[in-house]
C-alpha cells in the first residue's frame, strides 16, 4: 500500500476567488439574498433613525420643559416622539429577525450543496487518494471545515451587510450634524483600520494551521478509537497518551495563536472607539458652548460615533471568520477540483443470451451469461463472451514511482482456473488483485481480460465482473439482508437466502434475534469476526461474478468453520476464474496453479504436487521449514 501523508498546513492561495466560489452556491437564491439585503438595510436605517430621534427629543421635547411645571398637553409632543422611537426600534428588530431566519435557511441550503459536491467528488476519486489520507482528515472536511463556512455565511454575511449599511448611514448623519467633528473621527478611524488590517493579516496563516492541526488530531483520535482492542492487548495506553498529548499540544499552540489574534482584535478596536468617543465629546462640548450645535445634536452625534466605530470594528472582526472559512473552503474546493478517476474505457459489460438461431446477442434480462460489448470503427459493436481469461504480460508497477512493487510479472489464468498467490507480506499478492480491478494503473506491460486490455474496459463494467472478498470485512449500518444485498441491489430475498446458504452463513443468521432483519451497527460489532467474513462471502455469492478474488477470505475463520464452508466455496468457485491470496497453504492445495512471489517477482509456479517436487520455497513453506511473515 502507498504511504499515507498527513495534511500540511497551507496558507490560502486565493482569498476572494474562494469567497466568490462560496457565494456561487447561493446563485439560485439571489432574489432571496436581495430581500435579505433590503431587510438588513431597513434594519440599519431604523437603528440610525432611532439614534437621530435623540436630537428632537432633547432639543424640542426636553429642553423647553427644563425649569417648568409641564402640563399633560405640553408633554404630548415628547410622548409622541418616544412612541415613534419605540416603533422605529421594534420595526428594526423585526427586520433583523426576518433576515436571520431567511439566512439560516440559505446557509443550510448552501452547506447541503457543498457537502453533496464534496461527497459526490470523493466517490469518483481513485483509491490512492483514500490510501494517502486518514479517515480523520477526510471527516474534518465535512465537520470542522464545513462548520467554518457555516459561521461565515450564516452570521458573517448578514453582519457585513448590516454593519456596512449602518456605517454608511451613520457617516451620512454625522456629516449632516457636524462636518468638522466628522473629519476628526475619520482620522482616528483610519488609524483603527490600519491596526485591524495588520492584526487580520497575521491571523490568516494561524487559522489555516489551526484547521490542519485539528484535522490531524481528529485523524489520530479516529484511529485510536477504532484500534482500542489492539492498544489494550499490547498495553500501549501510556504510549498512546504521550502521542495524543504531543498532537493535542500542537493543536493547542496553533489554536492559541489563532485565537490570540482574534481575541485582541475586539479589545483594541473597542478601546480605540473609546478614544474616538472622548475626542468627539470634547469637540462637541466646545461647539455646544459656542452655540454651533444643540445639545440634542451632540447627544445624537456621540451615539453615532459609537455606532460608527462598532460596525467598522465588526467588519474587521468578521475578517477573521472569513479567513477561517476560506482556509476550510480552499481544502474542500481542492478536493472538489481534483481530477476524477480516469475511465477511458469504452468496452462495457452486458447480459447476453443465445437467440433461436444460436446467435450470441445482448439482452436486458439477467441470464447468467455475460459479454463484453466492444465498439468497432464502423460504429457497430461486437460481443465477446466473458470467459474469465486473465493475462499479465511483463507488468511492472510502483505505488509512488520510487519503490517497485511488481517487477516484470507475467502469468495467465485460464477460464475456470483457480490461481493461488502465495508469499510473504509485501510480496505483491494484493497488489496483483488491485491491478486487475484497476484500483491502480500499471506503469509498464499490459493486463488482458478475455484478450481485451483492461484499460479499454469501462471501470464500472470491469469491477462489476469481479467479486471480491477481502480480509478486512466492512459491513454497513443496516440489516443482515441489506448487507448481503449490497453485492447485488436487485437481488430478491430468496436469492439472498441462497447466497447465505452457499456461504454457510444461513444457520448462524437464523440464530440472530431477528434473523435476516437483524440490524448491524458499528461495522457488525455484534458479530464475531468469522461471522462477518461469512457475510462478506455471501455478499460476493449473491453478485454471481464471473471472476472471483479471495484475499485471505478464510483467514478469520476457524478450522471447523472453514471445513463447513469448503463445499459452499467450491460451488461458488465452480466455472469461475478465481484468484486466491492465502497464508494458510491448506486452502490452496487444490488450486490449478500456485504462484510464489518474493519482493514483486514470481519465483515459483505450478500446482501443489509440482511445487513440492521442486523442493523450493513453496516446499519449505508447506513443510514448515520457512514461515510466512
The three-class DSSP label of residue 342 is coil
Cell of 57: 427629543
Q: What pLDDT is attached to residue 4?
A: 43
Tens digit of each residue's pLDDT (9 = 90 or more) over 17-64? 888 888 888 887 888 888 988 998 999 899 888 888 888 888 877 877
What mean pLDDT is predicted for residues 582-610? 85
Cell of 621: 513453506
Judged against a pLDDT cut of 60, whether residue 2 lies above it is answered with: no
Residues 6+ positions from 626 with CB-CB distance below 8 Å: 617, 620
Cell of 178: 457636524
Cell of 466: 469481479
By the 8 A CB rule, do 284 and 188 touch?
no
Rg (CA), the chain: 36
CA proximity to 551, closest of 431, 386, 391: 431
Q: What pLDDT is attached to residue 233?
A: 61
CA dihedral angle for residue 46, residue 47, residue 50, residue 54, rounded to 10 degrees: -150
Cell of 529: 469476526
Lowest mean pLDDT among 3-7, 22-26, 442-446, 476-480: 3-7
Judged against a pLDDT cut of 70, whether residue 610 lies above it is answered with: yes
- In whole angstroms, what separates CA 529 from the centre of its chain? 29
By the 8 A CB rule, do 551 and 470 touch?
yes
Kind of pairing between the strands at 418-423 and 593-598: parallel
Provide the β-strand partners of residue 391.
Answer: 412, 448
Banded model confidence at residue 129, pLDDT cuts 50, 70, 90: confident
DSSP E strands in 144-259: the ranges are: none
Provide the β-strand partners of residue 519.
Answer: 479
Cβ-based burial of 404 (10 A; exposed 0-12, middle 13-18, buried ≥19): middle
Cell of 225: 478509537
What is the DSSP secondary-structure string of 590-614?
A: T-SEEEEEETTEEEEEE-HHHHHHH
* Measured distance CA(80)–CA(68) in Å, rounded: 19
Judged against a pLDDT cut of 80, whether residue 585 lies above it is answered with: no
The three-class DSSP label of residue 298 is helix
Q: What pLDDT is attached to residue 553?
A: 65
Q: What pLDDT is attached to residue 551?
A: 81
Q: What pLDDT is attached to residue 289?
A: 82
64, 216, 237, 618 from 224: Cα distances, Å: 76, 12, 10, 37
Q: What pLDDT is attached to residue 139?
A: 84
Return the ∠ at Cα 107 (arms to 102 and 109), rounded to 5°. Answer: 95
Q: What pLDDT is attached to residue 6?
A: 40
55, 57, 314 from 84: Cα distances, Å: 13, 11, 28
Q: What pLDDT is attached to residue 72?
A: 74
What is the DSSP secondary-structure string of 71-132?
A: -HHHHHHHHHHHHHHHHHHHHHHHHHHHHHHHHHHHHHHHHHHHHHHHHHHHTTS-HHHHHT
Element (H, E) at 348: strand 348-354
How long is the chain? 629
The three-class DSSP label of residue 401 is coil
Q: What pLDDT is attached to residue 558?
A: 63
Backbone angles phi, psi at 560, to 5 degrees: -65, -45
Tens digit of each residue's pLDDT (9 = 90 or more) over 191-247? 777 777 777 666 666 776 777 777 778 777 777 776 776 677 667 788 888 888 888
Element (H, E) at 168: helix 157-177
* Measured distance CA(618)–CA(626) in Å, rounded: 9
What mean pLDDT is predicted for residues 265-276? 72
Boundaries of every domain in the chain: 16-336, 348-385, 390-623
Judged against a pLDDT cut of 90, whether residue 396 lies above it is answered with: yes
The CATH homologous superfamily to which domain 16-336 belongs is: ABC transporter type 1, transmembrane domain (1.20.1560.10)
- Higher pLDDT pick, 170 / 72: 170
Q: What pLDDT is attached to residue 204?
A: 64
- What is the pTM (predicted TM-score) of this model? 0.70
By the 8 A CB rule, do 301 and 177 touch?
yes
Q: H-type helices in 14-71, by residue range? A: 16-24, 30-52, 54-56
The three-class DSSP label of residue 205 is helix
Q: What pLDDT is attached to residue 359?
A: 85
Judged against a pLDDT cut of 90, whether residue 393 lies above it is answered with: yes
CA proximity to 602, closest of 391, 412, 411, 403: 411
User: What is the residue-averaged pLDDT of the chain?
Assistant: 82
Banded model confidence at residue 410, pLDDT cuts 50, 70, 90: very high
Banded model confidence at residue 481, pLDDT cuts 50, 70, 90: very high
CATH class of 390-623: alpha beta
- In whole angstroms, what separates CA 354 from the centre of its chain? 46
Cell of 129: 487518494
* Measured distance CA(5)–CA(456) in Å, rounded: 31
CA proximity to 390, closest of 216, 592, 193, 533: 592
By the 8 A CB rule, do 577 and 416 touch?
yes
Kind of pairing between the strands at 577-581 and 478-479: unpaired
Instruction: Please identify which residue in the block is written with the cell numbers 444461513.
Output: 506
Judged against a pLDDT cut of 50, whether residue 349 lies above it is answered with: yes
Tens digit of each residue's pLDDT (9 = 90 or more) over 538-570? 888 888 888 888 887 666 556 666 666 566 566
Cβ-based burial of 219 (10 A; exposed 0-12, middle 13-18, buried ≥19): buried
Q: What pLDDT is attached to residue 1?
A: 44
Instruction: Please identify which residue in the block is written with the cell numbers 489492539.
Output: 230
Backbone angles phi, psi at 622, to 5 degrees: -70, -35
The three-class DSSP label of residue 391 is strand
Kind of pairing between the strands at 390-398 and 444-449: antiparallel
Cell of 588: 490452496
Adjacency order of strands within the sheet including 381-385: 360-362, 348-354, 369-375, 381-385
Q: What pLDDT is attached to residue 8?
A: 41
Judged against a pLDDT cut of 90, whether residue 284 lies above it is answered with: no
* DSSP designation for 487: T
151, 260, 319, 347, 553 from 9: Cα distances, Å: 21, 18, 20, 42, 40
Banded model confidence at residue 494, pLDDT cuts 50, 70, 90: very high
- Higher pLDDT pick, 290 / 319: 290
Amino acid at each position: 500500500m502507498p504511504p499515507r501523508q498527513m495534511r500540511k498546513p497551507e496558507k490560502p492561495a486565493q482569498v476572494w476567488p474562494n469567497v466568490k466560489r462560496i457565494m456561487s452556491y447561493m446563485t439560485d437564491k439571489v432574489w432571496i439574498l436581495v430581500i435579505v439585503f433590503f431587510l438588513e438595510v431597513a434594519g440599519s436605517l431604523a437603528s440610525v433613525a432611532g439614534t437621530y430621534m435623540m436630537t428632537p427629543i432633547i432639543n424640542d421635547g426636553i429642553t423647553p420643559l427644563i425649569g417648568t411645571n409641564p402640563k399633560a398637553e405640553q408633554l404630548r409632543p415628547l410622548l409622541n416622539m418616544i412612541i415613534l422611537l419605540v416603533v422605529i426600534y421594534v420595526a428594526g428588530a423585526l427586520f433583523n429577525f426576518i433576515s436571520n431566519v431567511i439566512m439560516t435557511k440559505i446557509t443550510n441550503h448552501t452547506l447541503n450543496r457543498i457537502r453533496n459536491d464534496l461527497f459526490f467528488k470523493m466517490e469518483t476519486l481513485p483509491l490512492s487518494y483514500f490510501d494517502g489520507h486518514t479517515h480523520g482528515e477526510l471527516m474534518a472536511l465535512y465537520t470542522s471545515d464545513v462548520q467554518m463556512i457555516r459561521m461565515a455565511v450564516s452570521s458573517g454575511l448578514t453582519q457585513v451587510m448590516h454593519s456596512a449599511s449602518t456605517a454608511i448611514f451613520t457617516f451620512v448623519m454625522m456629516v449632516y450634524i457636524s462636518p468638522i467633528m466628522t473629519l476628526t473621527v475619520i482620522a482616528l478611524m483610519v488609524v483603527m483600520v490600519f491596526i485591524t488590517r495588520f492584526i487580520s493579516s497575521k491571523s490568516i496563516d494561524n487559522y489555516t494551521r489551526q484547521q490542519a492541526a485539528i484535522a490531524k488530531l481528529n485523524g489520530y483520535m479516529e484511529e485510536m478509537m477504532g484500534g482500542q482492542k489492539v492498544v489494550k492487548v499490547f498495553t500501549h495506553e501510556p504510549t498512546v497518551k504521550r502521542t495524543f498529548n504531543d498532537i493535542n499540544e500542537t493543536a493547542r499552540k496553533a489554536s492559541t495563536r489563532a485565537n490570540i489574534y482574534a481575541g485582541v482584535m475586539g479589545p483594541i478596536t473597542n478601546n480605540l472607539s473609546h478614544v474616538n468617543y472622548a475626542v468627539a465629546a470634547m469637540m462637541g462640548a466646545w461647539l455646544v458652548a459656542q452655540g454651533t450645535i444643540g445639545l440634542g445634536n451632540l447627544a445624537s452625534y456621540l451615539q453615532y460615533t459609537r455606532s460608527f466605530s462598532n460596525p467598522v470594528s465588526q467588519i474587521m472582526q468578521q475578517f477573521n471568520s472569513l479567513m477561517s472559512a476560506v482556509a476550510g473552503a480552499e481544502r474542500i474546493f481542492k478536493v472538489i477540483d481534483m481530477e476524477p478517476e480516469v475511465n477511458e474505457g469504452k468496452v462495457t459489460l452486458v447480459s447476453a443470451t443465445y437467440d433461436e438461431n444460436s446467435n450470441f446477442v445482448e439482452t436486458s434480462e439477467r441470464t447468467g451469461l455475460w459479454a463484453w460489448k466492444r465498439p468497432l470503427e464502423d460504429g457497430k459493436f461486437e460481443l465477446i463472451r466473458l470467459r474469465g481469461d486473465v493475462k499479465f504480460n511483463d507488468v511492472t508497477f510502483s505505488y509512488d514511482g520510487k519503490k517497485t512493487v511488481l517487477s516484470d510479472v507475467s502469468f495467465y489464468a485460464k477460464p475456470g482456473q483457480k490461481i493461488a498467490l502465495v508469499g510473504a507480506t509485501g510480496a505483491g499478492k494484493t497488489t496483483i488483485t488491485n491491478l486487475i480491478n484497476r484500483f491502480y494503473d500499471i506503469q509498464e506491460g499490459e493486463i488482458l481480460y478475455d484478450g481485451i486490455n483492461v484499460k479499454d474496459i469501462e471501470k464500472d463494467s470491469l469491477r462489476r465482473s469481479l467479486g471480491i472478498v477481502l480480509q478486512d470485512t466492512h459491513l454497513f449500518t443496516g440489516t443482515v439482508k441489506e448487507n448481503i444485498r449490497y453485492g447485488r441491489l436487485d437481488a430478491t430475498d430468496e436469492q439472498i437466502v441462497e447466497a447465505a446458504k452457499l456461504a454457510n452463513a444461513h444457520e448462524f443468521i437464523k440464530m440472530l434475534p431477528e434473523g435476516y432483519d437483524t440490524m448491524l451497527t458499528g461495522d457488525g460489532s455484534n458479530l464475531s469476526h468469522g461471522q462477518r467474513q461469512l457475510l462478506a462471502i455471501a455478499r460476493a455469492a449473491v453478485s454471481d461474478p464471473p471472476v472471483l478474488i479471495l484475499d485471505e477470505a478464510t483467514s478469520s475463520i476457524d478450522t471447523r468453520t472453514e471445513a463447513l464452508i469448503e463445499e459452499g466455496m467450491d460451488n461458488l468457485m465452480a466455472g469461475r476464474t478465481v484468484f486466491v491470496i492465502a497464508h494458510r497453504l491448506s486452502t490452496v492445495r487444490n488450486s490449478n496453479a500456485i504462484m510464489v512471489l518474493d519482493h514483486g517477482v514470481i519465483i515459483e509456479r505450478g500446482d501443489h504436487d509440482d511445487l513440492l517436487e521442486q523442493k523450493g520455497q513453496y516446499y519449505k513453506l508447506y513443510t514448515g521449514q520457512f514461515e510466512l511473515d
